[in-house]
Amino acid sequence: MNKVIKYCSLIALLTLSLVGISFGQDAVAAPEPESQPIEAEKEGSKGFDAKSFIFSHTGDSYCFHITEIKGEPICVWLPVIVKSKEQGWCVFSSKHVCELKEGETYRNFFIQPMDAEFKPGKLVEINQAGEIVRPFDISFTKNAFGVFFCCAFLLAFFLPAARKYKKDPMAQPTKYQGMIEWLTSMVLDGIIKPSIQGDKYKKFAPYLLTVFFFIFFNNLFGLIPFFPFGANVTGNLSITLVLALITYFFVNAFGTKHYWKDILWPDVPIFLKAIPLMPIIELISTITKPFALMIRLFANILAGHIIIMVLMALIFIIGGMYGAGMGGAMAIISIFMSIFMTALEMLVAYIQAYVFTMLSAIFIGLAQEEPETKAIKTTK
């Protein structure tokens, strides 16, 4: 029985170290007593803090944490780029700020602990007045790395196919080209063409295809728990905000006259337009659509990541409450549950990319509507 628990705990530890989390002291204590002092020293008497554990891994970070060996973190240090009011532009490796002990600063910068009131987990500065302020921060963070990694992947994935097609469009496609074709036409024929009428889809297809594969691959990469994957890119509001803004731009910048007429002077009784009630509502609706896109993608992906992290945290919470045996038992359940969740998240990865692209395409399609096509629709 003891052996079984030991094995299970070992499996759990292996998985958890891949996810790159700090070992909770109680779960490790019984099967590997020699690691107890280090863990106890590190965690102190605070116990396991599930909240900071979860949000430090679903949120952004200044370094790419890979694993920890005997309390020594193994990280990819990313550049910190900040502009403070007092020091101007500062560029340095995040190694300096990530390894600071509590109370220390590097050039007056330090990272707020996760349980802090003001900007937890972010880089802050102590100015000369002794106040903690947030500098203008364009650090190349974990998520920025994730974005660039995915972008590089997209280019490396799609450009060779494009080059092959450019060279000889009528040649028999290779397996790789077949895959690209399958992926592309899945989006093109399944989402874009049904949503945007006529030949206008050609104008918007590049954006919609790019956004689909950007979201899809980022969602999938977010599920892979080791470097260079694992950044929770699409579960970050900044990313979905940019995507929603671009969709907003494509919907409204290319909107037809008819579309703008429907917004600013819709076919409603005059008293609803004279005091511009309807136009205001319509204008707000143009903003709510991309806003919903932003929140939907962000919340879905973040929720998936949080669930997996909660399942992991449960091991340590249960272990802390009932001892190592229960923690080990919980590890088995947690691992099976997180396997299930990861499978579900793969489905969600596709569905959310699909939904974002589909809705973007529909909004663009609605803004491309011409009066005569609408007349046909209403008579039907």
Residues that bind other proteins (CB under 8 A): 55, 58-60, 81, 119-122, 136-141, 143-144, 147-148, 151, 154-155, 158-159, 161-163, 165-166, 169-170, 180-181, 184-185, 188, 202, 205-207, 209-210, 214, 236-239, 241-243, 246, 302
Distance between CA atoms of 274 and 272, rounded to whole angstroms? Answer: 6
Give the nearer residue to other proteins in terms of CB position, either 147 or 312.
147
Distance between CA atoms of 204 and 187, rounded to whole angstroms? Answer: 12
Q: Which long-range contacts (CB under 8 A, 24 or more apart) does 204-210 make?
A: 204/250, 204/254, 204/361, 204/364, 207/246, 207/250, 207/360, 208/357, 208/360, 208/361, 208/364, 209/184, 210/154
Give the nearer residue to other proteins in terms of CB position, either 183 or 351.
183
Token digits of residue 111: 């990272």
Q: Are 342 and 308 in contact (CB under 8 A)?
A: yes
Read off the DSSP letter of residue 134: P
Q: How far is the CB of 245 from other proteins (least distance, A)?
A: 9
Give the nearer residue to other proteins in terms of CB position, either 101 or 163.
163
Token digits of residue 256: 């037809």
Contacts of 345 by beta carbon, 8 Å cutoff, 6+ apart: 219, 223, 304, 308
Give the nearer residue to other proteins in terms of CB position, either 158 or 350.
158
Q: How far is the CB of 181 from other proteins (least distance, A)?
A: 6
Give the nearer residue to other proteins in terms of CB position, either 58 or 334.
58
Give the nearer residue to other proteins in terms of CB position, either 143 or 195.
143
* CA–CA distances in Å: residue 125 to residues 95, 101, 130: 16, 15, 9
Q: How far is the CB of 209 from other proteins (least distance, A)?
A: 5
Q: What is the torsion angle, in degrees rounded to the nearest 10, for the CA atoms of residue 363, residue 365, residue 371 and residue 375?
A: -90
Q: Which residue has the tokens 């600071």?
A: 100
Give the nearer residue to other proteins in terms of CB position, either 23 or 363.
363
CB atoms < 10 A from the CB of 218, how many?
29
Q: How far is the CB of 158 from other proteins (least distance, A)?
A: 5
Q: How far is the CB of 59 from other proteins (least distance, A)?
A: 6
Q: How far is the CB of 309 from other proteins (least distance, A)?
A: 13
Q: How far is the CB of 206 from other proteins (least distance, A)?
A: 4
Q: Closest by alpha carbon to 135, among 115, 114, 101, 106?
A: 106
Give the nearer residue to other proteins in terms of CB position, either 48 or 212.
212
Q: How far is the CB of 129 from other proteins (least distance, A)?
A: 23
Q: Closest by alpha carbon to 283, among 271, 265, 270?
A: 265
